[in-house]
Amino acid sequence: MIIIHPLLGPRDSSEFIYKGDAALINRPDWQASDALDQFIDYGYLRDNPAGLHRELWYHEQGDRSWLVVTRDTTTHEITQVELARDVARRQGRST
């Protein structure tokens, strides 16, 4: 596969390490009243869709960016690649 890195352009996917669902960005608040329940869902449950999947890839053999790649799990077609940091900020993790 080829991942079009937003900073570096097209790169072979073998330069990257895969982590999983980009929902892993949404780490729960440890002080929430149901923090344990939230962490269990966060840590263990996955949508695992057959279709579009937003997922985390790490450019280990490159610039060490974490990326959020939008890829169809039935065709492997990639439609969007973003810096995970930008996504995290957008999702309110700046605080």
List binders of other proteins among 75-94 (CB under 8 A): 75-78, 83-86, 88-89, 93-94
Under the binding rule (CB under 8 A), the answer on residue 56 touching other proteins is yes
Tokens of 10: 């097209």
**Residue partners of 89: CB distance under 8 A and separation at least 6:** none
The CA-based dihedral angle spanning residues 32, 18, 4, 70, taken in that order and rounded to the nearest 10 degrees: -50
Under the binding rule (CB under 8 A), the answer on residue 39 touching other proteins is yes
Under the binding rule (CB under 8 A), the answer on residue 8 touching other proteins is no
Among 58, 62, 70, 82, binds other proteins (CB under 8 A): 58
What whole-number distance in Å separates Cα of residue 37 and Cα of residue 75?
A: 34
Under the binding rule (CB under 8 A), the answer on residue 17 touching other proteins is yes
Shortest Å distance, C-beta 27 to other proteins: 5
